A = this chain, B = another copy of it.
Amino acid sequence: MNFIAEIDIMTKKEILDPQGKAVKLGLENLGLPTVEDVRIGKYIVMQITAENESQAREIVETACQKLLANLIMETYQFEIKTM
């Protein structure tokens, strides 16, 4: 079966995000001063072939922990959908 995994990776709150700060300033200059906190992370979409959803979930867990996320600085969350 084919699955689609949508992964969101974000730096932890304790870690400064200068890119997010720059975007916040940009939004203020655009006339959107009510945006208060901006953080920028990665959004990863992958197609997976697996026998069932729990196997697909395992593959994504391994991918996140070993390659995609830096667990010291980042957290991840994901959703798996059938195609």
Contact = CB atoms under 8 A, between A and B. Distances in A.
Interface of A: 2, 6, 8-10, 20, 23-24, 26-27, 30, 32, 34-50, 59, 62-63, 66-68
24 contacts: A6-B8, A8-B8, A10-B43, A24-B46, A27-B63, A27-B67, A30-B67, A34-B48, A34-B59, A35-B46, A35-B59, A35-B63, A36-B48, A37-B46, A37-B47, A38-B44, A39-B44, A39-B46, A40-B44, A41-B42, A41-B44, A41-B45, A42-B43, A43-B43
Query: Taking chain A's interface residues, is the majority helix, strand, or loop, or is none over half, making it mixed?
Result: strand
Contacts of A45: 10, 37-39, 41
A20 B42 CA distance: 12
**How many copies of this chain are found per oligomer?**
2
Nearest to A76: B43
